[in-house]
Structure 1
Amino acid sequence: MEPTENPEIVPQRAENPAFLTKTQFTDFILPQEILAGIQEAGFTHCTPIQAETIPIALQGRDVAGQAQTGTGKTAAFLVPLMAKLLTANEPKSDLPSALITAPTRELAQQIYEDAKVIGRYTNLRMTLVVGGMDYQKQAQMLRQGTDIVICTPGRIIDYLKQGIFKTENIKVLVIDEADRLFDLGFTKDMRFILRRLPHYEKRLSMLFSATLSYRVLALTYDFMNLPDFIAMTPEEVTVKNIEQSLFHVSTKEKLPLLLGLLEKEDWSRILIFANTKAGVEWLAAKLQGNGLPTEGITGDLPQLKRLKLMQQFKDGKLKILVATDVASRGIHVEDISHVINYDLPQDPENYPHRIGRTARAGKSGKAISMACENYVFHLEAIEAMLGDKIPVVWPQEDWFKEDKAGPVRVDSFRPKRGSQDRSPRREPRRESRREPRREPNSEQKSRSKSISTSSQKIIFSTEPGGIFGLAPSREPEPVHNGPEAAANEPESSPTKKKRRHRRRRKKAAAPDNQQPQQSS
C-alpha cells in the first residue's frame, strides 16, 4: 500500500504512553533553565531508565545502566550532566567540563541535537567533534572554549594528541552504547581517552549499554567509582508493543516478497536492514527501480550526504531507508511504522537494536524478518536471547510481486576513479622514443669508474663531491708508467678477457702427446 501523502510528518508522542512512570521531572531539584527546556521538548513524565538514573546521578554517584534504544536514556544523562555544570560553584573556564562519547557520527549528532533542545535556556556551550566534518573548524571551536564536548573516539583522540582538546577540567563523563563501541573496535581508543581524564573520584561517570557484557563490566571496574547498576531486561524494552513476524524464504524470493509486503502493508515510514554495504546499495537500487522512494545509507557514505539523508528521513521527505547496522546507530525517529530485516543479523545483539527503531515513544510498530538459506543459522541465537520464538508467517502466492527494475549495478564493485557511469578511459599505448646512447669521452672515463651490482650501479669519481655533487668521492689510483707497470696491471678490457679464455680452452683441448713445433 502506498504511504500516506504527507510531505512533513511531525512526530507526536502517544497520549498515554504505557512505558512512562508516575515520576515527573518537576519532582527533581533541577535548575529552572533545564526545566524550561524539558517542558518545551514536551517531556513531563519520566521513562523507567530516567526515573532510576536521574536521582542517583544528581547525588553525585556513578551510574551504569542497561537500556536499549528508544527508552529515553539520552535525557537520562543530559539532565543530570547539565544540572551538575550549572550548580558547580567554580569560576567560568574555557576548558571542556563534560565529555560524551558515542560509537557513530549519527548517534553523536542526535545527542548534540537533543542537548541543544534541553539546554536551550542555559548558557552552556556545546561542540560536536566527529569525523567527516571540517577538521580546522572543529579545532577552532575547541580553542575558543566550550563546556560540553560530544564526540566519537577517533576524532577526539587526534585533537587530544595535538593538545587542542584538554581534559584536566572534565567533571562529567558519559559513555553511550558502550557495547557498540567495543564491537566497532574502539576498546583501546576508549582506554586511551579514559587514562587521560581526571581520576574517577573527581568526576561523575555515567555509562549506558544495551548489554552489560564482561568487557563493559571490566570498563566500569577500571574507570568508574563503584557505580550503581540499573538493568532493564530486553523483553521489557524492545518486544513490548512490537508485532514481530518471520518469513522462511529463499534468497531469490526475498525481493519479490518484500515488494509484495510493501504493497500489502499499511506503512508510513520503513527502515530496512541489510548486512553488507553491497547489499544495501543493491536493494536500494532495486526498490528505486520499482518506483519506491528509497535511499541507502552505509558506514563509508560521505558525512554531509549521510546527514542530508537522515534529515530527509526524519522530515518525512524520504519514506524508505535501507541501512547497515553501523549506519543505523543514531537513527532516532519516533514514527517508524515498520522495521524489516531483509538479512537476519549475524550478531544476535543487533536484533533488539534493529527492531527497537519502531514502537518508540509508546507507539506500536511491526518488525518483519526474512530467514534465507544464508542467514537462517543465526535465528537460533536470536530467539535464545529473546527467550521466545518469533512467530512464523507463511506467505501466500499472491504476496510475491514481480521485480520490474531489471539488472542493477552496485557502486561497491565499480572503480572509484573516473565517472560512475563508465570505467576510466585508457590511454593508447605509445612507443617510447629512445635517444641514442652516448659514449663517454676519454676525459670522463678517466674521472669516474662504475661498479655494477645486482641491485644498483655505484659511480665513483675522483672529483671532490662526485659527479654533479651526488656520487661518493674516491681516492685516485696511482698511474703506472713503463712496461713493468703495464704487465702488472690487471686486464680490465672484456675483449682481452675473452681472448685469454679462448687460449686456455685451446690449450686444454690439445692432445697430451702433441708438442708445439719448434721454430728452426
Structure 2
Amino acid sequence: MSTHLTDQRFDQYKLPDSLLQGLNQAGFQQCTPIQADSLPISLGGEDVAGEAQTGTGKTIAFLVAVYNKLLTEQPPEHRKPNQPRALILAPTRELAIQIHKDALLIGKNTGLKLALIYGGTDYEKQQQSITDGVDILIGTPGRLIDFFKKHVYNLKMVQSLVLDEADRMFDLGFINDIRYLIRRCPEPQHRLSMLFSATLSFRVQELAYDLMNAPKHIKIKSENRTADKIEERVYYPANDEKIRLLIGLILKEQPTRSIVFVNTKRVAENINAWLTGNDMPPAILSGDVPQKKRQSLLKKFQDGESTILVATDVAARGLHIPEVSHVFNFDLPQMAEDYVHRIGRTARAGASGTAISFACEDYAHYLPEIEEYIKHSIPNEGVSSELLVELKPRAKVERYGGNNKHGHRPGNRSGNRNQQGNRHHNRNHSKHKSHNSHQSKKATSDN
C-alpha cells in the first residue's frame, strides 16, 4: 500500500483560516488518497465509512472534518462546558494519545478545547479536564463509560462522532461499550459520523449501518496489503538461535530505530536481559507496564534516547513514531492481520523500511497464513554463521509490569537458556489462539 500524496491540496477546500493555518504550520499541504477521497464527503456533511491501512493519513482526514464542523457551525443552544461537541473513540491508549497529539498540532489556532481520557493513570486530572470545559473528547471506551456513569459529562450535544480502527474494537471486545456510548449521542441524522477500519468486514459494515446515517463507503485500493516501500525478509532459525540472530542482524543492519515484536511479556523480558547484557539496552512495552512508565519509555524512544523498542502487540497499532527503519518479528504473529499492523510501524508517510521475521520452530506454521493474507511470498534468507554472533552474558534487569511490587529480578535461573521462556510458553500449540486473545484483552483491560 502506498502512502503517496495526491494533487489535491488542503487549501483547495473552504476550510476555516485557523484550521488551514494549523495544517500549514504542521507541514500538511497535499492530501493522501484517503484524505482526498473522504474530505469532499465529510466536509459536505455526509457520513463516511473508510477502509484504509495504518499510516495512510486517516487521522488527519477525520480531524479536519471534525474541526471544520465545529468551527463552521454554532454550538447547540444551552450547551454546558462539560458537554463535548465531538467524540473520538479509539481502541488503545497509544492510539488515543496519538490522535490527541495530532489534534493539538493542527488545531492549536482554533481555540477549541480538547480532553484526553484513557485508563491506567491520572484519574482526577482527566476528570478535571472535562469539568473545566471540553469541545473535543478523545478517549478509550472503559474510562469514558466510567466518567459517563458518574455524570462527569454527557453526550447530548455531540455534533460529530469518530470511531477509529473499528475492527480492532471488535478484536478487543469493546463493541458493546462502543454501542453504549454512541447510543447516548444524538440520533445519526443529527450528527456527522465517521468510521475508519483496516477492513470493512461484514461486522464493521453492520455497525456502520446501525450507528450511522447512510454512510458513504471509501476503500483505498492497493495490490498489496503491506506498504510498497517495505523490504520484507524471513529467516528460519532454531529456537536457541533466535537471540544470537537478532543481535547479529542489529549489528549488521545498524538500524536507526527499530521495534522488536514478540508474542508474550516473558519473551520480551528475556530479550531485554540479552540486549542489555550486549550493550543494546532497549525500551520494553507490554500490556502491564504502568501507564506513566509506558509514556516515559515511548518518549525516550521517540526522542532517540533508546533506539530499540521491544513490544507485544499492544504497540502494533496507534503508534506513530517517525524514522523507524526496521521492524523485527522475533515471534511471528498468530494472526495474519497483526503482521500487517506490526510492519506498518516502518515505511510511514512515504518513507522506506525493512521488516525481518523469524519463522522459528514454534511459530513457522503461521507463515503460510500470513503470506496468503498479504498476497505474496516473503523472500527467505539463510541463517549464516556470520549472523549468529557470540553473546555476552545476560544482564540482570528490572522486570517490567505490575507484578514486580517487591523489586524482584529474574536472576540467572534461566540465564543460560536463551529461549526457555519461549519453549515453555509454546509447548501446546492448540492453546496459542485462545492465549493470544486473553493476552490482547488483558493488555487493554484498563482502557
TM-score class, shorter: 0.7 to 0.9
Residue 331 of structure 2: aligned partner: 343
| CA displacement at 1:419 relative to structure 2 | 3.2
- 2:46 is the alignment partner of 1:61: yes
| CA displacement at 1:295 relative to structure 2 | 1.4
* Alpha carbons 2:46, 2:216 under 8 Å: kept: yes
- 2:35 is the alignment partner of 1:50: yes
Any stretches of 5+ residues in structure 1 without a counterpart? 1-16, 424-520
Any stretches of 5+ residues in structure 2 without a counterpart? 412-447
| CA displacement at 1:89 relative to structure 2 | 2.8
Q: Which has the larger radius of gyration?
A: 1
- 2:56 is the alignment partner of 1:98: no
1:64-463 equivalences under 5 Å are 64-90=49-75, 93-94=80-81, 95-233=83-221, 235-236=223-224, 238-406=226-394, 411=399, 416-421=404-409
* Alpha carbons 2:261, 2:312 under 8 Å: kept: yes
Identity of paired residues, percent? 48
Aligned counterparts of 1:186 and 1:379: Cα–Cα separation in 2: 28
Which shows bigger deviation, 374-383 or 87-96?
Answer: 87-96
Give the letter for the 2:279 counterpart: G
**CA separation of 1:414 and 1:97: change in aligned 2, threshold 3 A:** closer
Give the letter for the 1:57 counterpart: S
Indicate the SS of the match to 1:185.
Answer: coil
| CA displacement at 1:293 relative to structure 2 | 3.0
* Alpha carbons 1:246, 1:368 under 8 Å: kept: yes
Q: Deviations over 1:114-155 (max 9, x none)?
A: 000100100100000111222122112212221000000000
| CA displacement at 1:388 relative to structure 2 | 0.9
| CA displacement at 1:237 relative to structure 2 | 5.9
- Between the two proteins, the alignment pairs up a number of residues equal to 407
* Alpha carbons 2:285, 2:294 under 8 Å: kept: yes
TM-score (norm 1): 0.75
CA RMSD of aligned residues (A): 2.0
Aligned counterparts of 1:350 and 1:410: Cα–Cα separation in 2: 28
Aligned counterparts of 1:310 and 1:413: Cα–Cα separation in 2: 15
Aligned counterparts of 1:229 and 1:270: Cα–Cα separation in 2: 35
| CA displacement at 1:329 relative to structure 2 | 2.6
* Alpha carbons 1:282, 1:410 under 8 Å: kept: no
Q: Which runs of 4+ in 1 moved over 2 A?
A: 89-93, 232-239, 327-330, 405-423
* Alpha carbons 2:339, 2:370 under 8 Å: kept: yes
| CA displacement at 1:410 relative to structure 2 | 7.9
For CA contacts below 8 A with separation 6 or more, give which structure has more relative contact order. 2
Indicate the SS of the match to 1:381.
Answer: helix
Give the letter for the 2:371 counterpart: E
* Alpha carbons 2:398, 2:409 under 8 Å: kept: no
Give the letter for the 1:365 counterpart: G
